[in-house]
Amino acid sequence: MTTPRPLVRPARVLAAALAAGTLFATAACSGSDSSASPESDASSTVAERGLAAQTTSPAASSPAASESPSDLSEEGARNALITPADIEDDWTQVRDPREWRDTLLVGSVDVAAFVDGQSDVQDCQRLVDALFDETLLGKPTGASAVTGFQEGDSRLLYQVAAYDKAELDDSMQWLSELPDTCDQFTLTGGDAGERTVQVIETSLPQVGDNRQGLTVTVKGESDGDPVTLSLDVAAVQMGADAITVTNGGLDGADHDTTSAAVEQGSQRLQEVLAGRTPSPTPSGIN
């Protein structure tokens, strides 16, 4: 069994470029009156241009509107968190899940095993680092809230957060490509020696605007004994907001629990974004 080791959480901000929209305002042209003076024509043209500028849609001219910023508040993020009733079984809510760390995830990706270039190595390194410090979708740019649950040697961490929309889109795309770019690789260094990491795609409930599920297994040794860390990883996007779930441990990952957390959590976030406060989940309902 690994021993959690507190480290300073690195801040990783995913780089992304926001495309700036170009605003075209076309002034209406009136018919020419042969009896009108040149001064009258000039005044009419200025007035028409001024009217066209005033009637331009504010949404179209506002960069903030085109970027679809999140309306998620800190209170809303907390209200959108799941509860033990949402995942049932014998999960116990913990006080500070941010302290969770697993040393099997500490190390460097073995470059020699990759034949497709450095970019794949960087993607796989980003994955293990993000799983270690719980920054799967990058650093939130707005409201965020985290909760966690424990059952035996299994842990479930659940986060609701607002992100930069373009960066969130890029992160979801990156996750979708990992089963191909990082299907299997070797992790070296740290206290756990050489480990084999496998990444496969898993299905999630059809919720949100976009979603991605993965199962990551890390096989190595701990205190001289063979161990396997299995983690379900799930992300669901709703506009500029997202929920993330990391569920598993040395006892394996319960896919049903992951699906329940995703489904119930998505419903709660939808309620919050609609301006409502989610009702407590009745005991005995998944």
For residue 78, CA distances in Å to 68, 75, 91, 268 come to: 21, 5, 19, 10
pTM of the model as a whole: 0.73
3-class SS string, 239-277: CCEEEEEEEEECCCCCHHHHHHHHHHHHHHHHHHHCCCC
What is the per-residue pLDDT for 116? 63
Average confidence (pLDDT) over 16-22: 35
What is the per-residue pLDDT for 279? 82
Supply the angle between the helices 165-181 and 118-133 in degrees, to the nearest 10.
110
Average confidence (pLDDT) over 72-83: 96
Q: pLDDT band at residue 67, thresholds of 50, 70 and 90?
A: low
Average confidence (pLDDT) over 154-181: 96
Asked if 238 and 270 touch (Cβ cutoff 8 Å), the reply is: yes
Asked if 198 and 216 touch (Cβ cutoff 8 Å), the reply is: yes
> If 0-12 CB within 10 Å is exposed, 13-18 middle and 19+ buried, where does residue 49 land?
middle
What is the per-residue pLDDT for 115? 63
For residue 14, CA distances in Å to 62, 82, 100, 272 come to: 24, 27, 23, 26
- Cα 266 to Cα 206: distance, rounded to the nearest angstrom: 10
What is the per-residue pLDDT for 117? 63
* Domains delineated in the chain: 21-66 (no CATH), 70-273 (3.40.1000)
Q: What angle do CA 74, 78, 81 make, to 5 degrees?
A: 140
What is the per-residue pLDDT for 189? 87
pLDDT at 247 over 90: yes
DSSP string, 141-199: SS-EEEEEEEETTEEEEEEEEE--HHHHHHHHHHHHHHHHHTSEEEEE-SSS-SEEEEE
DSSP string, 51-69: HHHHHS-HHHH-HHHHT--
What is the per-residue pLDDT for 162? 98
pLDDT at 80 over 70: yes
Least confident of 59-68, 144-153, 242-251: 59-68
- What are the tens digits of pLDDT across the range 178-195? 999 999 999 998 777 899
Instruction: Residue 266: count other Cβ atoms within 10 Å of its Cβ.
Output: 21
What is the per-residue pLDDT for 62? 37
What is the per-residue pLDDT for 192? 78
What is the per-residue pLDDT for 3? 39
What is the per-residue pLDDT for 231? 97
Least confident of 19-23, 97-101, 113-117, 164-168: 19-23
- Cα 256 to Cα 204: distance, rounded to the nearest angstrom: 10
